[in-house]
Amino acid sequence: MDPIILVISFIMTLAFLSFGVGTVTLERFRIIGTLVLVFLSMGFLFNATALLVMILFFPSSLFSTNGLIMFSSFTIMLVDTVWAWGRYLKNGIDSRVSLALVRYTQIAFFVWVINFLWGIVLLIWI
């Protein structure tokens, strides 16, 4: 297996763990705390890094199935992270969040996990 693909996989696993911790924390406490912001942001940054590495080393892969899956995951995480930061900037730290943000975060994480697992399946086949 190509070492770059292993690096991308490792970075995506870090994104999965970070986004997961942020999602579970937001769902459990229903407040925008430091932990939620840090882990959602780290998950987004890891995902963006993996996408950037993929584009730099495999430019044609952006239009492949795996590239579309990674880009959709990136977009979902971007919306969720921006929404969480927007609530923080508007209401301050440790402010209660709406049920809509909690539900979107749950759905975003579920879709992101499906995309993550599908990406693993595609990498195994490559």
Task: Delimit the domains of the chain by residue range.
Answer: 3-125
The CA distance from 85 to 43, in Å, is: 14
> Vertex 95, ends 89 and 97: CA angle to 5°?
95
The CA distance from 97 to 62, in Å, is: 35
Residue 15: per-residue pLDDT: 94
Residue 126: per-residue pLDDT: 61
Claim: this prediction has a pTM higher than 0.75: yes
Tell me the mean pLDDT per 10 residues along the chain, length 126.
85 94 95 95 94 86 78 91 95 93 94 87 73
Q: Are 95 and 87 in contact (CB under 8 A)?
A: yes
Residue 9: per-residue pLDDT: 87
Pick the CATH number of 3-125 from 1.20.1740, 1.10.10, 1.20.120, 1.10.3470: 1.20.120
